[in-house]
Chain A
Amino acid sequence: MLELIVTSTLNGVLFGMLLFLMASGLTVIFSMLGVLNFAHASFYMLGAFFGFQISRWFGFWPALIFAPLLAGAIGAAVERFGLRRVHRNGHVAELLFTFGLAFAIEEIVSIIWGKVPVDFRPPELLDFPAFTIFSTNYPAYKMFMLAVSIVIFVGLLLVLKRTRIGLIVQAALTHPHMVGHLGHNVERIFMLVFGVGTALAAVAGVIAGPSLVTQSNMAAMLGPILFVVVVVGGLGSLPGAFIASLLIGLVQTFAVSVNGSLASVFGPLGPDLAQSWLSDIWNVTIAQIAPIMPYLLLVLILIFRPMGLLGTRET
């Protein structure tokens, strides 16, 4: 039991931090431009595939630096030549633009790298067990993932709260005209924030690629969960996104390891449902419904706290 709790907590925190790496970029972009970037998970996927390709040519460490830079540059270009153009047509048009973009990126990736998973491995330097808990070896690479996530989280907080750049960015969120009058190029700030946000997603892609599966539907698998994180945490709230990421990471990993069902708990009391279609609900294990846990959480949050955990506004 203790073993299960310890390993599930570790895995849950790990997955949660990865989610947060992506959700942080998404949240910052949302609060600046007012649009949820539907293609954000696609930049995570681009990061993973660029990382795979660069690590094949030059090794893993250059990939960790250049893949996010490349994806961030693409992100900045998307803002400059796409989003800025549709901005005047309203938020729905912006959301639709990123939706189309996500669709196109998935198609392009599956054309270039195929639909089957690619062989993206952790670097040899980190290919050893870091420590052993209850006879389970813990790979060093997972610890490295955790470390990178934490470093970026702390770095992001420091930049946003303690530096001049962070001050300008925060001011541009609420008072873009005033910041413009003070002589800052607000359009360029938006472009840079979009680039940095997508680059953060790509960092998550590079470090998650070797550990999870790198394939052309990874964006479509993770994208919806990412939006659950953002809505549950409260739209536009960075601390909220942090709590929601960890919550969803933990809920999902714990659910996977629990094998109980309604039938196993209430079995002796329950009526005989073997024949009716309710037997599905009766017999399904918690491990089986782990994939839909985030969405259940979303529905519950919407019913009981529509603005999200730490959100301040309704929309």
Chain B
Amino acid sequence: MTELASRVAPPRPALSDRLKFYGTWVATALILLLLPQIFTSGGSMTTFSLVGISIIFALSYNILLGQTGMLSFGHAVYYGLGGFLAIHAINLLGGNKWAIPLPLVPLIGGMAGLFFAALIGWVMTQRSGTAFAMISLGLAELVASSALILRTFFGGEAGISANRTKLFKVFGLSFGPQIQIYYLVAAWTLIAIIAMYALTRTPLGRMCNAVRDNPERVQFVGYDPHVVRYLAFCFSGFFAGIAGALAAINFEIANSAYLGAVQSGTVLFAAYIGGIGFFIGPIVGAIFVTILSLGLSDLTQVWQLYFGLFFIAVVLFAPGGITGLLMMHRPLIRAGMLSRMLPSYLVAALPTLALVTGLMLMIETIVHYTVNPHEDPNRVAFGIPFNAASPLTWAISAVLIVVGFVLCRMAWARVGQTWDETLTAARAKVHAL
């Protein structure tokens, strides 16, 4: 009897669990508050702001892909429209001296995203899967190309700019310095993360997961999967609009690139690389991808190629993303058996490193010959100096690739074997307890 009751209503969480839950949020808020004290340079303020915006955008994307199972290739539409509406709102508010301060402008962007998602979404969400993906792509192209035609509203190629400091001031904040923008973005990021987390806990959030896993069964239970998808789509558009508005505030400009395929692709990369199966996945992905794209461009000319190859590798070998890989190890940690895996990981790391280094050497050498063949062949990529013209470089790269590949196959097969054994042992141990 007690067993049955516990299935109907989950028990109230224990005090320690609740403390842990609220403690996590308080800790996150504290970290956001203290970050500018640790990294004080202007560059890091900009980076943090971009990371925050990208976290909101990636989480809003995951409402579609991870939680409801809709693969969208056009999520930048709601981001971009939110950004444009925010810029127009700033100009309007500043021009007319209305008493609406800048911190509320992201809400206007969110409303814009919600409005367009509600407008377009009903037709789009009738279907899921491949058809939805293609339709989202077509609509994104439609909106992005329209942006170049409707010049008065979208400002053509130059875009529309605004001055964020001209708005009604609260607490004497002008929002001119980047640090104030950082705190604005950080506050909105925290609010959006909490709101989106709360959304996953509501019945709607649960129904979204059900629609993702088995739409037919949802229909039998008495819900319309189309309506559930539509609601999820609207929420997703709302949060994407907030992210777009924050980006517009940060750069004080909105242009057609906000709506484009690159923006849609980047958020897809971020959410998937981070891991779409967990709430924290897109956050990890957004941080990773933003910092990587800012940092890699200093290390090599062709960072976008590495970026694409990395994404393919994640799809091929780690469909759960970075978070999925880490979470796989939870049962081992619980059983205290993680140390059993470490030796085989270390053994596998060496040939993998060799293979990756070999591939990088090869790519960089090819880049030297195709992009700038007349320059100095002594190149530096990822901090490693090498001579692209020397046959030795080619030989080393070939050996690293071939030997690394062969050893990799053997080492990773061993890792898989050890993994199976350890996991079985860990499960047995937990059950025995």
Mark A residues whose CB is within 8 Å of B.
Answer: 30, 34-36, 82, 85-86, 89, 91-93, 95-97, 99-101, 103-104, 107-108, 111-114, 220, 224, 227-228, 230-231, 235, 277, 279-281, 284, 288-289, 291-292, 294-296, 298-299, 302-303, 306, 314-315
CA gap between A294 and B141 in the complex, in Å = 10
Q: Tell me, rounded to whole Å, the shortest Cβ–Cβ distance linking A177 to chain B.
A: 22
Whether B152 lies near A279 (C-beta < 8 A) is yes
CA gap between A108 and B305 in the complex, in Å = 7
Q: Which of B71-127 contact A (CB under 8 A)?
A: 71, 73, 123-124, 126-127
* Chain B residues positioned under 8 Å from A107 (CB to CB): 302, 304-305, 308
Q: Tell me, rounded to whole Å, the shortest Cβ–Cβ distance linking A214 to chain B.
A: 16
Q: Which of B135-160 contact A (CB under 8 A)?
A: 135, 137-139, 141-142, 145-146, 149-153
Whether A103 lies near B71 (C-beta < 8 A) is no
Q: Judge whether B268 is part of the interface by a CB distance below 8 angstroms.
A: yes
Known: A104-B312, A292-B146. A111 touches B137 (CB 8 A): no
CA gap between A145 and B368 in the complex, in Å = 37
CA gap between A289 and B152 in the complex, in Å = 16
Whether B141 lies near A295 (C-beta < 8 A) is yes
CA gap between A15 and B393 in the complex, in Å = 46
Among B127, B145, B309, B312, the residue within 8 A (CB) of A97 is B312
Whether B268 lies near A302 (C-beta < 8 A) is no
Whether B145 lies near A295 (C-beta < 8 A) is yes
Q: Judge whether B281 is part of the interface by a CB distance below 8 angstroms.
A: no
In the complex, which residue of chain B has the Cβ closest to the Cβ of A288?
B149
Whether B71 lies near A302 (C-beta < 8 A) is no
CA gap between A228 and B123 in the complex, in Å = 16
CA gap between A101 and B129 in the complex, in Å = 19
* Chain B residues positioned under 8 Å from A96 (CB to CB): 71, 268, 272, 315
CA gap between A220 and B71 in the complex, in Å = 19
Whether B153 lies near A95 (C-beta < 8 A) is no
Whether B302 lies near A315 (C-beta < 8 A) is no
**Leading 10 A-B pairs by shortest Cβ distance:** A295-B142, A104-B308, A277-B152, A107-B305, A103-B308, A100-B312, A298-B138, A100-B311, A280-B150, A292-B145
Q: Judge whether B430 is part of the interface by a CB distance below 8 angstroms.
A: no
Whether B319 lies near A89 (C-beta < 8 A) is yes
* Chain B residues positioned under 8 Å from A89 (CB to CB): 319
Q: Judge whether B366 is part of the interface by a CB distance below 8 angstroms.
A: yes
* Chain B residues positioned under 8 Å from A299 (CB to CB): 123, 138-139, 142
Whether B131 lies near A235 (C-beta < 8 A) is yes
CA gap between A169 and B131 in the complex, in Å = 24
Whether A315 lies near B131 (C-beta < 8 A) is yes
Tally of A-B Cβ pairs under 8 angstroms: 127
Interface of A (DSSP majority class): helix
* Chain A residues positioned under 8 Å from B137 (CB to CB): 224, 227
Whether A92 lies near B69 (C-beta < 8 A) is yes
Whether A97 lies near B316 (C-beta < 8 A) is yes
In the complex, which residue of chain A has the Cβ closest to the Cβ of B265?
A103
CA gap between A237 and B112 in the complex, in Å = 38
Whether A231 lies near B138 (C-beta < 8 A) is yes
Q: Tell me, rounded to whole Å, the shortest Cβ–Cβ distance linking A227 to chain B.
A: 5
Please indicate which of the listed interface residues B73, B138, B311 has the most CB atoms of chain A within 10 Å of its own CB: B138
Chain B 290-310 interface 0/1 with A at a Cβ cutoff of 8 Å (1 = within): 000000000000101101110
Q: Judge whether B133 is part of the interface by a CB distance below 8 angstroms.
A: yes
Whether B302 lies near A35 (C-beta < 8 A) is no
Among B71, B127, B139, the residue within 8 A (CB) of A92 is B71
Q: Judge whether B360 is part of the interface by a CB distance below 8 angstroms.
A: no
Q: Judge whether B134 is part of the interface by a CB distance below 8 angstroms.
A: yes
Known: A35-B130, A36-B134, A227-B134. A103 touches B311 (CB 8 A): yes
Whether B138 lies near A228 (C-beta < 8 A) is yes
Whether B261 lies near A220 (C-beta < 8 A) is yes
Q: Tell me, rounded to whole Å, the shortest Cβ–Cβ distance linking B134 to chain A.
A: 5
Known: A100-B315, A103-B265. A315 touches B135 (CB 8 A): no
Q: Tell me, rounded to whole Å, the shortest Cβ–Cβ distance linking A53 to chain B.
A: 12
Please indicate which of the listed interface residues A35, A82, A299 has the most CB atoms of chain B within 10 Å of its own CB: A299
Q: Judge whether B6 is part of the interface by a CB distance below 8 angstroms.
A: no
Whether B71 lies near A231 (C-beta < 8 A) is no
Q: Judge whether B413 is part of the interface by a CB distance below 8 angstroms.
A: no
CA gap between A111 and B304 in the complex, in Å = 11
Whether B135 lies near A231 (C-beta < 8 A) is yes
Whether A224 lies near B370 (C-beta < 8 A) is no
* Chain B residues positioned under 8 Å from A93 (CB to CB): 315, 319
CA gap between A220 and B262 in the complex, in Å = 11
Whether A111 lies near B367 (C-beta < 8 A) is yes
Q: List 9 A-B contacts (CB under 8 A).
A: A82-B316, A103-B265, A103-B307, A103-B308, A107-B308, A111-B305, A280-B149, A302-B135, A314-B127
Whether B134 lies near A280 (C-beta < 8 A) is no
CA gap between A12 and B41 in the complex, in Å = 57
Whether A295 lies near B139 (C-beta < 8 A) is yes
Q: Judge whether B31 is part of the interface by a CB distance below 8 angstroms.
A: no
Q: Tell me, rounded to whole Å, the shortest Cβ–Cβ distance linking B183 to chain A.
A: 34
* Chain A residues positioned under 8 Å from B135 (CB to CB): 231, 298, 302
* Chain B residues positioned under 8 Å from A303 (CB to CB): 123
Q: Tell me, rounded to whole Å, the shortest Cβ–Cβ distance linking B74 to chain A.
A: 10
CA gap between A98 and B126 in the complex, in Å = 24
CA gap between A299 and B133 in the complex, in Å = 14
Whether B312 lies near A224 (C-beta < 8 A) is no
* Chain A residues positioned under 8 Å from B384 (CB to CB): none
Whether A111 lies near B370 (C-beta < 8 A) is yes
Among A95, A111, A224, A277, the residue within 8 A (CB) of B130 is A95
Q: Judge whether B371 is part of the interface by a CB distance below 8 angstroms.
A: yes
In the complex, which residue of chain A has the Cβ closest to the Cβ of B363?
A111
* Chain B residues positioned under 8 Å from A99 (CB to CB): 73, 265, 268
CA gap between A279 and B312 in the complex, in Å = 45
Whether B142 lies near A230 (C-beta < 8 A) is no
* Chain A residues positioned under 8 Å from B151 (CB to CB): 280
Q: Which of B384-422 contact A (CB under 8 A)?
A: none
Among A35, A91, A294, A306, the residue within 8 A (CB) of B127 is A306
Q: A103-B308, A306-B127 are in contact. List 5 more A-B contacts (CB 8 A).
A: A111-B366, A111-B367, A111-B370, A227-B137, A299-B123
